[in-house]
C-alpha cells in the first residue's frame, strides 16, 4: 500500500487526546486507530504484536539471518492529534501538482498563504494534502505512522539485511503523556527514532527544558465604599505579576533557542485569581534562572501584600534530550547519512517544544526525532507533501539498512 493511501485512511479516525483527561489513554477514541494498526501489523506478519490496555501498539520485525548481533532499532510515532483544534470528520484536499501559490480551503473559504508559510515555495511541483479548513489534518503524527508502516512493509518484502526492528505507536503525546506507560521491558530496542517532525531532512536532538508554573492568589473582599487599606484585589495582583515578566520573552517574540514565559490562562476576581504559565528554555542554566525569577516574584508579592497572598507551584515537564544524545551521537550520524543518501541536506533544528523522544531518552532509550514532511501542525492550515512522505520512507529504509554492531 502506498504511503498516501495509508495516511488518508488513518486521518479518517478521530483520535484527539483530552488535555483534561486523567485516564490512560486520556480518550477512549484513540483505540479506534490503535485497533486498525494492531491488525495491520498482524496482517504484515510481524511478531510480538500487542495492543496494550493503555493503548500502545507494539510489533517486531525480527532480524534477518546473520544479523542477530546488530543493535535493535525502534521506530515510534503517536496516534493522537492535538486538542488545540478539531480533529473530527477530517476532509482532506489533494493538490496534485502544487503551483507555488496560495491554497484555497473550500470548507472554510480561507487560504493557506505563502506569505504566512514561506516553506511552501520549496514545495512547488509536489503533491500536497491539506485540510478543507474546518479541522486540522492529523499529519502530526499520522504521517509518521504511515511512513513507518510503509517502510516496514517494504523492508519485510525486500532482501534488505537488518537487525531487530521494533515498532510502537503511542497515545497522548499531544498532552505530554506519551511515554507514561511505554513498556521498555517489552520494546527491546537499543536506540530509536520518533518520526514526528516537519522537514523530511530534519534530525532533531535538542528540545526545550520545560515546566509549568501556576500562581494562585488570595484576595480580601470588602464593600468598595469601605475598602481603603482593607481590600486586597487578587485580580489586580495577577495583572501586576503578569506585567513584571519580560514583555518580549514570550512565544510571539522568540525563535530558535530563545526561551520564554507563556501565559496560557488567567482567571479570577477580587477574592481569588490564577495565572498559568509554561516556561521553556534550551539552556539548562537559563531555564533555572527563569524558574528562579518566578520564585523571586512570589516572594516579592508576599512581602508587598502579606504572607501567603501568592502561592507559586512549579511542575517540571521534560528536559533537553541533548545531554543524553551527546553520549550516543551514532544515532544522529546514522540518520544524517541516510538523509544524505536520500538526496537531502540534513538539518538539525532545535525543537521549540518537546517530543516523546526526549522523555524516552532519559528513560534509557536514545531517541532523536525525524521529520515527516508535514507542516503548520495543530490547526486548519496543516498540510503534508506526499513526495516528502515517500522520501521519509526511503530515509527509514536507509537507516535500517545500516545496522550497528552491539
Asked if 100 and 130 count as a contact pair (C-beta separation under 8 A), the reply is: no
CB-based contacts of 186, cutoff 8 Å, min separation 6: 48, 50, 58
Strand partners, 370: 195, 203
Catalytic residue from among 173, 206, 298, 319: 173
Please state the separation of Cα 95 from the chain's center in Å. 26
- Concerning whether 80 is annotated as a catalytic residue, the answer is yes
Task: Please give the C-alpha separations between residue 374 and each of 138, 142, 384, in angstroms, as whole numbers.
Answer: 9, 10, 4
Place of cell 519580560: 246
Q: How far apart are CA 140 and CA 190, in angstroms?
A: 25
- Concerning whether 174 is annotated as a catalytic residue, the answer is no
Catalytic residue from among 80, 140, 298, 319: 80
The dihedral through the CA atoms of 90, 96, 102, 105 has a sign that is negative
| 3-state DSSP assignment of residue 257 | coil
| 3-state DSSP assignment of residue 208 | coil
Q: How far apart are CA 77 and CA 35, in angstroms?
A: 15
Asked if 267 and 252 count as a contact pair (C-beta separation under 8 A), the reply is: no
Asked if 171 and 314 count as a contact pair (C-beta separation under 8 A), the reply is: no
In 108-217, which residue ranges form alpha helices assigned H by DSSP?
139-156
All cell numbers assigned to 130: 491539506
Strand ranges in 181-309 using DSSP code E only, listed in sequence order: 191-197, 203-204, 209-218, 260-268, 272-281
Asked if 91 and 107 count as a contact pair (C-beta separation under 8 A), the reply is: yes
Active site residues: 80, 173
Amino acid at each position: 500500500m502506498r504511503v498516501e493511501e495509508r495516511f488518508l485512511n488513518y486521518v479518517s479516525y478521530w483520535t484527539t487526546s483530552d488535555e483534561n483527561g486523567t485516564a490512560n489513554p486520556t480518550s477512549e477514541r484513540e483505540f479506534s486507530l490503535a485497533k486498525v494498526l494492531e491488525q495491520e501489523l498482524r496482517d504484515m506478519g510481524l511478531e510480538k504484536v500487542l495492543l496494550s490496555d493503555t493503548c500502545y501498539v507494539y510489533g517486531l520485525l525480527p532480524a534477518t539471518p546473520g544479523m542477530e548481533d546488530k543493535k535493535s532499532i525502534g521506530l515510534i510515532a503517536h496516534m493522537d492529534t492535538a486538542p488545540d483544534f478539531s480533529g473530527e470528520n477530517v476532509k482532506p484536499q489533494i493538490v496534485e501538482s502544487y503551483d507555488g501559490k496560495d491554497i484555497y480551503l473550500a470548507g472554510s473559504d480561507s487560504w493557506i498563504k505563502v506569505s504566512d508559510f514561506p516553506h511552501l515555495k520549496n514545495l512547488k511541483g509536489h503533491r500536497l494534502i491539506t485540510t478543507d479548513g474546518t479541522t486540522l489534518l492529523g499529519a502530526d503524527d499520522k504521517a509518521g505512522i504511515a511512513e513507518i508502516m510503509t517502510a516496514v512493509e517494504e523492508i519485510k518484502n525486500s532482501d534488505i539485511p537488518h537487525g531487530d526492528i521494533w515498532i510502537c505507536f503511542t497515545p497522548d503525546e499531544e498532552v505530554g503523556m506519551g511515554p507514561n506507560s511505554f513498556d521498555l521491558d517489552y520494546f527491546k530496542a537499543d536506540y530509536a527514532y520518533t518520526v514526528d517532525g516537519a522537514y523530511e531532512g530534519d534530525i532533531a536532538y535538542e528540545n526545550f527544558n520545560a515546566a509549568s508554573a501556576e500562581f494562585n492568589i488570595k484576595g480580601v473582599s470588602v464593600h468598595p465604599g469601605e475598602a481603603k487599606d482593607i481590600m486586597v484585589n487578587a485580580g489586580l495582583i495577577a495583572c501586576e505579576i503578569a506585567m513584571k515578566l519580560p514583555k518580549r520573552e514570550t512565544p510571539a517574540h522568540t525563535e530558535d533557542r530563545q526561551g520564554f514565559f507563556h501565559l496560557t490562562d488567567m482567571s479570577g476576581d477580587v477574592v481569588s485569581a490564577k495565572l498559568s504559565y509554561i516556561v521553556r528554555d534550551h539552556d539548562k542554566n537559563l531555564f533555572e534562572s527563569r524558574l528562579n525569577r518566578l520564585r523571586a516574584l512570589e516572594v516579592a508579592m508576599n512581602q508587598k501584600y502579606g504572607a501567603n497572598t501568592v502561592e507559586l507551584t512549579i511542575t517540571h515537564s521534560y528536559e533537553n534530550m541533548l545531554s543524553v544524545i551527546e553520549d550516543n551521537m551514532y544515532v544522529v550520524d546514522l540518520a544524517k547519512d541516510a538523509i544524505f543518501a536520500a538526496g537531502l541536506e540534513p538539518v538539525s533544528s532545535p525543537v521549540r517544544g518537546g517530543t516523546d523522544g526526549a522523555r524516552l531518552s532519559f528513560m534509557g532509550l536514545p531517541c532523536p526525532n525525524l521529520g515527516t514532511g508535514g507542516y503548520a501542525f495543530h490547526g486548519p492550515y496543516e498540510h503534508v507533501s506526499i513526495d516528502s512522505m515517500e522520501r521519509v520512507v526511503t530515509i527509514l529504509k536507509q537507516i535500517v539498512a545500516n545496522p550497528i554492531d552491539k
